[in-house]
């Protein structure tokens, strides 16, 4: 889920930037320090969008800088457990597929792709169903559900996905299944 949040922090402004616009300097420093940061509570901080408040700086003895309490807005992305998301397969490996979910990538393990037995075809760089012969390749558009989220401060988050439920999987598979169900019921 994408969300805009307000954060309070203290920003250290080095003396070589004292003559610049304070709000612009603080924005530059915040962007450098926060954008791309992963946090268990916040998710991934994608962008610092606005600096709302910059207090008068304080100088600490022995420190060549001023310290400013600030309030700023940040755009974050945090996947929610059980959330269903569209994505694109960006990498196929022998143990599954990495799916780009916008701001982050998630992993669909081979056991979570379909009910069919899946094997890895290294020559075609595809995951192939034994009975259905359905293939999953890089560039395929999919719909997946988040089954696990692990985020630690400073590390890339890990997202576990499944496509083993109705209306999940490669978009072409979903359409094929819907047509098949429509023909059976009609």
pLDDT digits (tens, 9 = 90+) for 7-55: 999 999 999 999 999 999 999 999 999 998 887 788 889 999 999 999 9
Domain that holds residue 181: 84-185
Its pTM stands at: 0.76
Q: How far is CA 7 from the centre of its chain?
A: 20
- CATH number for 158: 2.40.50.140
Q: Same domain for 57 and 97?
A: no
Q: Same domain for 48 and 73?
A: yes
End-to-end CA distance of the chain: 38
Dihedrals phi, psi of 166, to nearest 5 degrees: -55, 140
Q: Do the beta carbons of residue 14 and residue 20 sit within 8 Å?
A: no
Number of structural domains the chain divides into: 2
Q: Same domain for 92 and 136?
A: yes
Helix runs in 35-168, H state only: none
């Amino acid at each position: 889920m994408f969300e805009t949040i307000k954060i309070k922090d203290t920003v250290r402004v080095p003396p070589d930037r004292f003559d610049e616009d304070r709000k612009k300097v603080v924005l530059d420093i915040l962007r450098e320090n926060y954008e791309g940061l992963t946090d268990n509570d916040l998710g991934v901080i994608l962008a610092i969008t606005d600096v709302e408040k910059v207090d008068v700086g304080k100088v600490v003895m022995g420190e060549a800088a001023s310290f400013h309490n600030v309030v700023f807005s940040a755009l974050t992305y945090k996947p929610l457990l059980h959330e269903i998301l569209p994505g694109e397969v960006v990498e196929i490996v022998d143990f599954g597929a990495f799916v780009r979910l916008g701001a982050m990538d998630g992993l669909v393990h081979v056991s979570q792709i379909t009910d069919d037995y899946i094997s890895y075809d290294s020559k075609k760089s595809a995951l192939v169903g034994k009975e259905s012969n359905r293939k999953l390749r890089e560039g395929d558009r999919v719909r997946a559900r988040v089954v696990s989220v692990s985020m630690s401060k400073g590390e890339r988050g890990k997202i576990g996905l499944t496509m083993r439920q109705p209306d999940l999987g490669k978009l072409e598979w979903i359409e094929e299944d819907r047509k098949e169900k429509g023909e059976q019921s009609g």
